[in-house]
């Protein structure tokens, strides 16, 4: 996917936040407590997480609250975001949703006030030092993944085949080299093709040359994995297991089964 323009970045964030608000409109309070595929979080926690990250980017300090050890917190970065959720667990879902609506407008206004050099400036992000424009693409992807967590838990499908899903697919694509080499430890000369079905799908083929997996077109592959774009991004985000991805509707493995299964196992890389 080509880098998004400033206007597309802002529109993409607006789209995904609006979609989260639509997905949670009119919920009974009990629905806010439904568990989601993100371990440890219910529907309300998902929305609180989005709020917390955007408040952090607006410059607000992280709430001072004791978190302690929790099985679902796998790293320091994840733990650092948990206080934003914890302080909202005593609120009603309606109150949390109302705060998201307000914070989203503040963030959009702040982004619209920036000039082009600000979007091109390199700085910290969860994926390393990158231009802020790239960081905001990651935010679109992350918010879309959480939106889908919410929609799946509520049984309210939507938000598909959007800018958010396109950024999620692009993020999964960008991780393929590391997944194949460092994760699956595919040997030299191995080629892996992924046939992703769906409106935003297509073929991806990588080949291990000189210890690195690089994109390389070719008619054949050591192993070909076919899966729906939903399975592709859900596995990348760690929302489904390798076994669940393997047996999902539309998934097919042709060729070297050991390498194909190793790729599926290594694919859940998102924080």
pLDDT of res. 271: 58
* Range 6-159 has CATH code 1.20.120.450: yes
What are the CA-CA distances from residue 139 to residues 134, 154, 162, 169, 197 (Å)?
9, 22, 14, 14, 25
116 SS3 class: helix
Could you tell me the pTM of the whole model? 0.95
The domains of the chain are located at 6-159, 174-266
Top-tier CATH class for 174-266? alpha beta
E-state strands within the chain: 122-123, 130-131, 191-197, 202-209, 212-215, 223-228, 252-255
pLDDT of res. 78: 85
pLDDT of the chain, 271 residues: tens digit per residue: 788 999 999 999 999 999 999 999 999 999 999 999 998 999 999 999 999 999 999 999 999 998 888 888 888 888 999 999 999 999 999 999 999 999 999 999 999 999 999 999 999 999 999 999 999 999 999 999 999 999 999 999 999 999 999 999 999 999 999 999 999 999 999 999 999 999 999 999 999 999 999 999 999 999 999 999 999 999 999 999 999 999 999 999 999 999 999 999 999 887 5
Query: At a CB cut-off of 8 Å and minimum separation 6, what does 66 contact?
Result: none
Topology agreement, domain 6-159 and domain 174-266: no
pLDDT of res. 11: 98
65: buried, middle or exposed (CB in 10 Å: 19+, 13-18, 0-12)?
exposed
């Amino acid at each position: 996917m080509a880098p998004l323009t400033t206007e597309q970045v802002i529109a993409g964030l607006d789209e995904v936040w609006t979609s989260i608000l639509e997905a949670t409109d009119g919920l009974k309070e009990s629905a806010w407590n439904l568990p989601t595929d993100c371990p440890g979080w219910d529907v309300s926690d998902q929305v609180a997480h989005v709020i917390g990250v955007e408040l952090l980017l607006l410059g607000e300090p992280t709430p001072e609250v004791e978190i302690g050890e929790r099985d679902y917190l796998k790293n320091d970065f994840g733990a650092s975001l948990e206080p934003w959720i914890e302080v909202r667990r005593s609120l009603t879902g309606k109150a949390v949703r109302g705060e998201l609506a307000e914070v989203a407008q503040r963030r959009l206004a702040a982004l619209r006030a920036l000039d082009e050099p600000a979007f091109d400036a390199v700085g910290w992000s969860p994926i390393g030092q990158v231009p802020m424009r790239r960081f905001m693409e990651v935010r679109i992807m992350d918010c879309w993944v959480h939106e889908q967590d919410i929609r799946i838990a509520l049984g309210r499908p939507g938000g598909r085949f959007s800018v958010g899903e396109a950024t999620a697919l692009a993020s999964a694509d960008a991780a393929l080299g590391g997944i194949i080499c460092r994760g699956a430890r595919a040997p030299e000369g191995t080629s892996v093709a992924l046939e992703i079905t769906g409106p935003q799908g297509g073929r991806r083929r990588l080949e291990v040359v000189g210890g690195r997996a690089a994109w390389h077109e070719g008619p054949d592959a050591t192993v070909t994995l076919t899966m729906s774009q939903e399975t592709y991004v859900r596995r990348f985000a760690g929302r489904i297991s390798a076994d669940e991805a393997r047996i999902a509707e539309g998934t097919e493995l042709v060729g070297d089964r050991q390498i194909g299964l190793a790729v599926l196992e290594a694919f859940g890389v998102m924080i």
